[in-house]
């Protein structure tokens, strides 16, 4: 299962943190810093997977943003990696060419996107069409 999802920029600013496991606030901060340290030192020739405590991080970099998901060691690496990409494509369509600022100004909408696609640390919906339909429907509600 997914333990947490983090979107960070290169400077280490968190653009989204979604936790599927109980951590206290100090621990969350520590995890955020550790993930940043682990992920930013890797280059394009490295794998998109990195061992992390008793878990592993599957991550992908899009321009200045790192999308990281922390999953169990037994989870399927490539499925997680493509789940990230699927999520990014949805964000891209929803925000029309998404950029970092969209995530800042619309942080409360990003949570809705996440909840549509992932819930309880599992993949909930994978169809981009379905997710976008749902998001547009919600956006038109008052």
The binding site for other proteins (CB under 8 A) comprises 1, 14, 17, 22, 42, 45-51, 73, 76-79, 81-83, 85-86, 95, 99, 101-102, 104-109, 111-112, 115, 119-130, 134, 137-142
Rounded CA-CA distance 120/53 in Å is 21
Reference 1, options 124, 91, 89, 111; nearest CA is: 124
**Strand (E) or helix (H) holding 6:** strand 2-9
Shortest distance, position 53 Cβ to other proteins, whole Å: 14
Q: Which is nearer to other proteins, 11 or 105 (CB)?
A: 105
**Please, which residues have CB within 8 angstroms of residue 36's CB and are 6 or more apart in sequence?**
8, 12, 66
Shortest distance, position 65 Cβ to other proteins, whole Å: 15
Q: Which is nearer to other proteins, 10 or 46 (CB)?
A: 46
Shortest distance, position 129 Cβ to other proteins, whole Å: 5
Q: Which is nearer to other proteins, 37 or 79 (CB)?
A: 79
Shortest distance, position 134 Cβ to other proteins, whole Å: 7
- What tokens were used for 74? 């037994």
Shortest distance, position 60 Cβ to other proteins, whole Å: 10
3-state DSSP call for residue 1?
coil
Using alpha carbons only, give the angle 50, 5, 35 rounded to the nearest 5 degrees: 40
Q: Which is nearer to other proteins, 37 or 107 (CB)?
A: 107
Rounded CA-CA distance 71/75 in Å is 6
């Amino acid at each position: 299962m997914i333990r947490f999802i983090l979107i960070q920029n290169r400077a280490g600013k968190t653009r989204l943190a979604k936790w599927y496991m109980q951590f206290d606030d100090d621990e969350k901060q520590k995890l955020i810093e550790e993930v940043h340290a682990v992920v930013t030192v890797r280059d394009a020739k490295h794998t998109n997977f990195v061992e992390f405590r008793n878990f592993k991080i599957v991550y992908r970099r899009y321009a200045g943003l790192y999308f990281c998901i922390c999953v169990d060691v037994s989870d399927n690496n490539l499925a997680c990696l493509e789940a990230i990409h699927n999520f990014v494509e949805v964000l891209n369509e929803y925000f029309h060419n998404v950029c970092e600022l969209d995530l800042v100004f619309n942080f409360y909408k990003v949570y809705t996107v996440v909840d549509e696609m992932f819930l309880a640390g599992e993949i909930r919906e994978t169809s981009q069409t379905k997710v976008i339909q749902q998001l547009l429907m919600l956006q038109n509600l008052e």
